[in-house]
Structure 1
Amino acid sequence: MMQWILPIVFLLAGLLAGIIGEKFIFKKLKVFVSNTKIPGSEIIFSSLHRMTFIWFALAGFSAAILSAPIKPDIANLLQKSITVIVLYSVTLVLARLSAGFVNVFTHRTEGVSASLLSNIAKVAVIVLGSLILLQTVGVEITPIVTTLGISGLAVGLALKDTLENLFSGFYLIISKQVRTGDYVKLADNHEGYVIDISWRNTTIRELSNNVIIVPNSKLGSAIFINYHLPVKEITLTLNVGVDYESDLEHVEKVTVQVAKEVMQEIAPQLIANEPYIRFHKFGDFSIDFTLYMRVNEFFDQRIGRHLFIKKLHKRYQQEGIKIPFPARELYMQENSARIEG
């Protein structure tokens, strides 16, 4: 029994060091780094979550094996098992780091999907780490790679839809036809903001906050309008009609002034693109024209139209400009014929 005291001490010391390192040292260091605002610190600490305890515990277990009175072949097997666990944990940390930094990059790069690229980075690191792990423990990986290559065709046929969606997602990102943050309208009249392109689906959030899930392959072959391409700025158009007795020069001046006021409120940076109107029709009750005014993006059309109608109605009343409404005059002719019974 005396021979097992030292191994048990090493094992308990490793567990205790892991608990202290995880609960106290790791947390204190995390708070310190967060306060200093070191770039990437949050990603690093989230990637190392629980790893401090695992590594200290494995170190204690390894020391216990070396000092324990056990057979060499069993000690060898246990040491290989520890090596596998350590390598896998390091691979997992690297996978978390790569996914985290890809997420940071995609959030800083406008229009790049976070989910698909980060998942691909994580899977690539895990696959590469697994191959290195197998090579380290003495497993020949060449037959494995060859077998995977041969069976790839069968897997590809079985996962045809999944792979089609995956490559369609890559195509959408690379071609930049759809980017996260874009406002799109599909052929079936569904519309909203693209919030993510994953390995299988594109997620679109409607203005009502509902979510539309569209398979990447369907979106890649669909007819849709992207209101953020080639630029986010969009022209708001609004049809207006004025009375036939109106002074059209005065109408144009007043309408453009009101449109400028609205632009000053919702899109001051676009004020250089002056609004304008174009008369286009002698209607049944009015002379009709269309206002053209630039706004920041598709959603701003709503608030722009709301403000413009309110301000224009008030200003027209002040200026004595009439907006006619449909009216009909009926002329009835009295029938003077007598009907005798």
Structure 2
Amino acid sequence: MTALGVGGVSIGLALQNTLANLFSGLNIITSKKVRPGDYIKLETGEEGYVRDIAWRYTIIREYNENLIVIPNSKLVSATFKNYTLPKKEMLLPIECSVSYGSDLDKVEAVTLEVAMEVMKYVPGGVPNFEPFLRYHKFDYFSINFTIYLKVKKFIDHLIVRHEFLKRLYRRYQWEGIKIPFPIKAGYLSEKDKKIESDFPHNPSI
């Protein structure tokens, strides 16, 4: 009797997990919040294209072609971002900065020209999208802004960002627009200066 009881509990637990995954899979399929072909990123860091949604598990294909198998009961209760919904096109914000003393109107005009060129000629860009730029911070050594582009689907952000940064850097060099780098300035009090003068630097020490 004891053996039958333990066996019954084991079978019950196995069926419970199976049924949980089964109903979760049905929930995923009918809700259409995740579909084959969607690009998703889980809160745990895993990301990739949804390759298949079976009754018990969902398969995700990573960039490197590895497959991630996730039980449906875990996926249905997980927090994730779907980069394909509500539509495949998505904004691509890119953070940039220029040095103090820059002509901000010129920076805006030049940056937008490069962005429109990328939208028109780089595969993955949305040709009819009009990029826009917003300044947002006076930083320690730079004036920061964000330029907004748009890509046809999530994976396109790689090549669009790549081409935009290359072309922008080349254009900034041509236009004489300086991209800043961190600078730290040190100041000595009169007391510190006196101490330093009392102990002159000796390269031989």
Using the size of structure 1 for normalisation, the TM-score is 0.51
CA distance in 2, matches of 1:202, 1:249: 50
Residue 80 (structure 2) aligns with: 224
Match among 172, 179, 194 for residue 323 of structure 1: 179
Residue 301 (structure 1) aligns with: 157
SS of 1:299's equivalent in the other structure is helix
How many residue pairs align between the two structures? 184
8 Å contact from structure 2 (residues 92, 149) kept in 1: yes
* 1:237 partner letter: P
Cα drift, residue 272 of structure 1: 2.1
Residue 273 (structure 1) aligns with: 129
8 Å contact from structure 2 (residues 131, 150) kept in 1: yes
Cα drift, residue 271 of structure 1: 2.3
Q: Which runs of 5+ in 1 are unaligned?
A: 1-154
SS of 2:141's equivalent in the other structure is coil
CA distance in 1, matches of 2:63, 2:124: 20
CA distance in 2, matches of 1:213, 1:225: 17
8 Å contact from structure 1 (residues 156, 163) kept in 2: no
CA distance in 1, matches of 2:72, 2:185: 58
1:206 aligns with 2:65: no
* 1:210 partner letter: N
Cα drift, residue 208 of structure 1: 1.4
SS of 2:154's equivalent in the other structure is coil
CA distance in 2, matches of 1:297, 1:277: 21
Structure with the bigger percentage of helix: 1
Residue 11 (structure 1) aligns with: none
* 2:56 partner letter: R
* 1:320 partner letter: G
1:335 aligns with 2:194: yes
Cα drift, residue 165 of structure 1: 1.1
Cα drift, residue 296 of structure 1: 1.1
* 2:28 partner letter: L
SS of 1:253's equivalent in the other structure is helix
Using the size of structure 2 for normalisation, the TM-score is 0.83
SS of 2:186's equivalent in the other structure is coil
Cα drift, residue 325 of structure 1: 0.5
Residue by residue over 1:108-166, the C-alpha shift from the partner in whole angstroms, topping out at 9 and shown as x without a partner, is xxxxxxxxxxxxxxxxxxxxxxxxxxxxxxxxxxxxxxxxxxxxxxx887522112211
* 2:36 partner letter: T
Q: Which has the higher contact order (CA 8 A, sep 6+)?
A: 2
Cα drift, residue 184 of structure 1: 0.4
Larger radius of gyration: 1
CA distance in 2, matches of 1:188, 1:204: 14
Cα drift, residue 221 of structure 1: 0.9
CA distance in 1, matches of 2:19, 2:96: 51
CA distance in 2, matches of 1:157, 1:187: 27
Cα drift, residue 194 of structure 1: 0.2
SS of 2:194's equivalent in the other structure is coil
8 Å contact from structure 2 (residues 124, 153) kept in 1: no
* 2:100 partner letter: Y
Residue 182 (structure 1) aligns with: 38
CA distance in 2, matches of 1:329, 1:219: 51
* 2:20 partner letter: E
SS of 1:266's equivalent in the other structure is coil
Residue by residue over 1:184-231, the C-alpha shift from the partner in whole angstroms, topping out at 9 and shown as x without a partner, is 000101100000011211000111111110001110111111010001
Q: Which runs of 5+ in 2 are unaligned?
A: 1-10, 200-205
8 Å contact from structure 1 (residues 266, 295) kept in 2: no
Q: Structure 1 residues 338 and 207, CA, compared in 2 at 3 Å: closer, same or farther?
A: closer
Identity of aligned residues (%): 53
Match among 51, 56, 75 for residue 195 of structure 1: 51
Match among 161, 165, 169 for residue 17 of structure 2: 161
Residue 148 (structure 2) aligns with: 292
* 1:191 partner letter: E
CA distance in 1, matches of 2:119, 2:151: 7
SS of 1:159's equivalent in the other structure is helix
Structure with the bigger percentage of strand: 2
SS of 1:173's equivalent in the other structure is helix
8 Å contact from structure 1 (residues 200, 216) kept in 2: yes
1:256 aligns with 2:115: no
CA distance in 1, matches of 2:45, 2:73: 18
